């Protein structure tokens, strides 16, 4: 087996321009959503990452036609006209968390769906009870089958709009409730919905194709079921619709922290600064300068010469709070602060596996009951560390960029699941990083 690694020579401040790709967590929901359309469509700004490749493999396996139209803009033609299957292969479902969106999309399309319980980053228990609750409230029956009882089977004679009150704020369950109800009979109301930009993006895509979804981005979403999703130019139209996926706010945030930690000066382009507010506010609190260039869809991140970085406490929360997916990267920055910072993790119970790796580099971090204390004034030294999950891998890269000497990162497949050309993008701003 070939094992690929990142090798980084630390100590070079990032300087220059970085362009952010489309959002992973939008693309992996919008692609399955094409199953609900009655016409083909084109989508652009789809990121070139492994989770998207798996999504496309599943779609093609179901019978979809997918063609790359423009590599540079990530533009694809997708048609699900010939899909008759509703079974997601076991291996593919297990490889990625977002495979659960095929459950909602297939249920909405053909009132049947079958997929293994989803895989994804090892972040502790990742239940899907709220997804199943939403499907059942809409009228589906769900059963678990297979020798490990890990295959979810759904079937419904008819899906009928209803009120779905989520017990927890869940991105995936909110998206799945939208997918399953967009063509249901009557009106569905999702209460206590998640508000992440990717929820709004999925709703915008579906509305663009003729759905009637209101309130995405607030905690109450109202979905009036429609019979057909044939585009907003009218039923049966053959117009070539093109939808553009929103920029990835976590990729942008990762580069913002990398710029700050290396005391660099970077313009990060192709972003929606509003989506970055929680990250921007935290960076400013630490002493990093962040300029929002709304007209240019960019942020400018730098640290003034001689500026001391300050400790700052972090609590992860659903959007618009501070994102859990930025917590490991921010922890690396906090190792450089003038004092100790407290991190409280409220979303994933096992999000601190990266701490063991950072300690190997000299970071001083204590694990607490639901968080960590990051002691500042650390001096990181390069060594071999592991990318335990996607965002832990991003944190290791930032640590490698600031460490003295050489850092080698293993298990980089985690990083490549969610970051498009991270080596090329960082190298373009002066980082000494290569994949071997």
Place of tokens 């090798």: 7
8-33 burial, b if ≥16 CB within 10 A, otherwise e?
Answer: bbbebbbeeebbbbbbbbbbbbbbbb
CA–CA dist 406, 381 (Å, integer): 8
265: helix, strand or coil: strand
Q: Kindly name the residue from 41, 55, 80, 121 that is annotated as catalytic.
A: 121
Nearer to ligand EPU, 13 or 247 (CB): 247
- 332/397 Cα distance (integer angstroms): 10
- Respond yes or no: is residue 121 known to be catalytic: yes
Q: Does residue 93 interact with ligand EPU by CB under 6 A?
A: no
Tell me which stretch binds ligand EPU (CB under 6 A): 128-136, 219-227, 361-369, 371-379.
Answer: 128-136
- Cβ-based neighbour number of residue 424 at 10 Å: 11
* 173 makes contact with ligand EPU (CB under 6 A): yes
5 within 8 A of 412, measured Cβ to Cβ? yes
Counting contacts by CB under 6 A, is residue 121 touching ligand EPU?
A: yes
Q: Does 131 bind ligand EPU (CB under 6 A)?
A: yes
Q: Pseudo-torsion of CA 36, 39, 45, 47, nearest 10°?
A: 50
Return the residues of window 347-376 that contact ligand EPU according to CB under 6 A.
347
Q: Which helix (H) or strand (E) holds 94?
A: helix 90-95
3 state SS of 184: coil
**Is 163 within 8 Å of 170 (Cβ atoms)?**
no
Q: Give min distance, CB of 151 to ligand EPU, in A.
A: 17
Instruction: Examine residue 263 and tell whether it contacts ligand EPU (CB under 6 A).
Output: no
In the bound state with ligand EPU, the residue whose beta carbon lies nearer, of 117 and 337, is 117
Strand-strand pairing, 265-269 and 41-44: unpaired
Among 21, 45, 99, 170, which residue sits at the site for ligand EPU (rule: CB under 6 A)? 170
Which residue from 391, 395, 397, 429 is in contact with ligand EPU, where contact means CB under 6 A? 391
Q: Which stretch binds ligand EPU (CB under 6 A): 171-179, 279-287, 408-416, 421-429?
A: 171-179
Which tokens in the block code for residue 225?
A: 């079921």
- The residue within the footprint of ligand EPU, chosen from 54, 98, 202, 385 (CB under 6 A), is 98
Whether 324 and 345 have beta carbons less than 8 Å apart is answered as: yes
Rule CB under 6 A: choose which of 21, 142, 204, 324 binds ligand EPU: 324
- Position 185 contacts ligand EPU (CB under 6 A): no
Establish if 191 lies at the interface with ligand EPU (CB under 6 A).
no
39 or 117: CB nearest ligand EPU: 117
Q: Which residues does residue 242 pair with via DSSP β-bridges, in sequence order?
A: 42
CB nearer to ligand EPU: give 18 or 250: 250
Binding residues for ligand EPU, per CB under 6 A?
A: 24-25, 28, 97-98, 121, 126-131, 168, 170-173, 194, 324-325, 347, 390-391, 418
Active site residues: 121
């Amino acid at each position: 087996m070939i094992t690929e690694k990142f090798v980084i020579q630390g100590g070079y401040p990032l300087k220059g321009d970085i362009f952010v790709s489309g959002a992973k967590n939008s693309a992996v929901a919008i692609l399955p959503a094409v199953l609900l359309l009655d016409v083909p469509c084109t989508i652009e700004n789809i990121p070139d990452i492994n989770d998207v490749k798996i999504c496309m493999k599943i779609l093609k396996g179901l019978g979809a036609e997918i063609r790359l139209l423009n590599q540079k803009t990530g533009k694809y033609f997708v048609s699900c006209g010939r899909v008759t299957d509703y079974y997601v292969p076991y291996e593919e479902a297990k490889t990625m968390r977002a495979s659960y969106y095929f459950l909602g999309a297939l249920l909405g399309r053909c009132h049947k769906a079958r997929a293994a319980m989803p895989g994804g980053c090892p972040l502790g228990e990742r239940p899907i009870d709220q997804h199943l609750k939403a499907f059942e409230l809409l009228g589906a029956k769900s059963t678990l089958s297979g020798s490990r009882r890990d295959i979810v089977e759904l079937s419904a004679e008819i899906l009928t709009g209803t009120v779905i009150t989520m017990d927890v704020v869940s991105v995936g369950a909110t998206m799945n409730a939208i997918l399953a109800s967009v063509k249901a009979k009557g009106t569905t109301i999702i209460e206590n919905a998640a508000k992440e930009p990717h929820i709004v993006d999925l709703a915008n895509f579906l509305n663009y194709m003729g759905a009637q979804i209101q309130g995405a981005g607030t905690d109450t979403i109202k979905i009036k079921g429609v019979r057909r999703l044939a585009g907003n130019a009218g039923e049966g139209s053959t117009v070539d619709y093109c939808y553009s996926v929103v920029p990835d706010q976590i990729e942008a945030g990762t580069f913002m922290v990398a710029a700050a930690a290396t005391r660099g000066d970077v313009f990060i382009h192709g972003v929606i600064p509003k989506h970055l507010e929680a990250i921007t506010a935290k960076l400013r609190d630490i002493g990093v300068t962040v300029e929002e260039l709304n007209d240019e869809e960019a942020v400018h991140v730098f640290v003034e010469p001689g500026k001391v970085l300050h400790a700052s406490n972090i609590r992860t929360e659903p959007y618009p709070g501070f994102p859990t997916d930025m917590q490991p990267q921010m922890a690396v920055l906090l190792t450089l602060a003038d004092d100790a910072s407290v991190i409280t993790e409220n979303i994933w119970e096992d999000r601190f596996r990266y701490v063991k790796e950072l300690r190997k580099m000299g970071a001083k971090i204590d694990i607490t009951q639901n968080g960590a204390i990051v002691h500042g004034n650390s001096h990181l030294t390069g060594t071999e560390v592991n990318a335990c999950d996607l965002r832990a891998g991003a944190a290791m890269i930032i640590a490698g960029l600031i460490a003295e000497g050489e850092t080698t990162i293993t298990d980089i497949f985690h990083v490549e699941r969610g970051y498009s050309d991270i080596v090329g993008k960082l190298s373009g701003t002066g980082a000494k990083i290569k994949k071997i």
